[in-house]
Copies of this chain bind each other. A is one copy, B any other.
Amino acid sequence: MSKLITIAVDAMSGDLGPEVAVPASLEMLRSRDELRLILVGDAETVRRHCGRLGKESARVEIHHADQVVSMEDTPSEALRRKKRSSMRVAVDLVHSGEARACVSAGNTGALMATGRLVLKMLPGIDRPAILAGLPTMQGVCYMLDLGANPVCTPTHLLQFAVMGSVIASINGVENPVIGLLNNGEEDIKGIETVQAANALLSDSHLNYQGFVEPNDVFKHGADVVVCDGFTGNISLKTMEGSADFVYRQMQSYFRNGWFTRAYSLACWPFLRAIKKRLDPNRHNGAALVGLNGIVIKSHGYSNEVGWQQAIHLAMREVEKGLNERIQGLWSNMAA
């Protein structure tokens, strides 16, 4: 029993709600014997979506929570007025030690604020960051911060580099190459904070290779790319917009006349394959790193695959001792 990893799931969260969150979580339970779930949310609703449980029922617990944080709630509203929400209770369970990690597809700002309030920061780390693994031509690039801190100091960026380096390591990248997002590769490029962070990173023990331009992220210019949360969020949303634009251009090509409409039948398998390759659910799960507890943010539009990716990520971070490693690397560097 001691080997079970307990994950709290905010079962009410996500655009598709418990209808998808609950079955997806249970499916994960069937494929991972070491997983134990606490499904947090309206008990009756959650139970209804559980259906008939077999022998897995021993590894599922339903934890009632009668409030839900909406996408419209501001972080402060969520903290003040939604203390009995499924999100808050899931994070509380991590704080109390009843769960080793939690997963939510809810409001990112509220989740971040709840995490900071309840779990506090990892000793030595000043700010939490949103980290995601982005697909590249040669694998995955771990990029942070994607939106938690619009303004960062050079020290924050150094801490992000440490956290990103550990995340890449536990995902199998040996001695991860760190890059700093900038608008050019030349030394003179960039704003003041980026320049100062470049100096700090160059003096660190990290495997730092210098500036990376956004167009080189996809060419796998580095295993980890560090930036402030404003720039990171702009870049992330530009990626989403660009991929969507290209896909819509492809679709609209087939609306141009009867010939292309007919031709679209021939290209349909190809279009579907490309859409699948670029499906964000396959790369789902942003970690809120730097908190004194493991919190995974699943996409709002997560489908079953997305939820399972996010739970998988939570389990890996627990198994690999993410936070102990971050603290170890950071105190080594500070020493």
Contacts and interface: CB of A to CB of B under 8 A. Distances in A.
Interface string A227-261: 00111011101111111111111100100000000
A200 interface: no
Interface string A72-97: 00100000000000000000000000
A215 B190 contact: no
A334 interface: no
B230 A238 contact: no
B238 A242 contact: yes
Contact of A250 (B136, B137, B240, B274): B274
Residue of A184, A217, A218 most packed against chain B (CB within 10 A): A218
A219 B242 CA distance: 10
A230 B191 contact: yes
A216 interface: yes
B241 A215 contact: yes
Contacts of A269: 263
B230 A218 contact: no
A213 interface: yes
A273 interface: yes
Nearest to A134: B245
Contact of A234 (B234, B241, B263): B234
A60 to B, nearest CB: 36
A315 B218 CA distance: 37
A204 interface: no
A23 interface: no
Interface string A136-152: 11000000000100110
A270 B253 contact: yes
A209 interface: no
A246 B183 contact: no
A278 interface: yes
Contacts of A244: 215, 218
A190 B270 contact: no
Residue of A191, A241, A263, A278 most packed against chain B (CB within 10 A): A241
A183 B218 contact: no
A266 interface: yes
Which 5 residue pairs across A and B have the least CB separation, nearest first? A215-B241, A242-B242, A183-B233, A218-B245, A238-B238
8 contacts: A136-B245, A213-B237, A215-B240, A215-B241, A218-B242, A218-B245, A235-B235, A246-B278
